[in-house]
Amino acid sequence: MMSYLEIKRDFWLLPPDIDPDDTDIKHEAYKEAIDTLGQISTMYSPMEKIDVLMKTFDKIHEEVENYFKTLASAQGKVKMLSMDDLLPIFHFILIRARIPHLGSEIQFIDDMVGQGISHGEASHRFTTLSLCYEQIRHERERDNT
């Protein structure tokens, strides 16, 4: 799935001894971020849902940073996570989180918070969530026709 979403191999977070072309590998990249995002449907207030979204992005950055710190000690290379890298990673996490009624969750946040998150980091992350959801919906509709 990571190659389908065009996530750069550097961000697959595979241990150095694993071949990324091996289809038998059971690797749980971004597990903490997936688990965190999965909590969004257990929150009742829109701001709690936004907080889960913010924590999810923090977990992504944390997991990438920890992975490259480990590699840097062995290989001396460090990578920065750009938005071009982050979008497909978040898309992957959103798919793997399998959030029931995600469209309703997004609509609830939008209806209840509205202009309250029109600027800043929360707005950016909510827009990313909405964008990825719409892409998933579009792909599903295309596959069903």
pLDDT, one tens digit per residue, over 61-120 is: 999 988 888 776 655 555 667 888 999 999 999 999 999 999 999 999 999 987 767 678
The percent of residues in the chain predicted with pLDDT above 90, rounded, is 52
Q: 């923090």: which residue's tokens? A: 58
CB 122 within 8 A of CB 50: yes
User: Phi, psi (5° rounding) for residue 40?
Assistant: -60, -35
Residue 13, pLDDT score: 85
Fold of 32-144: Glutathione S-transferase Yfyf (Class Pi); Chain A, domain 2 (1.20.1050)
Q: What is the pTM of this model?
A: 0.86
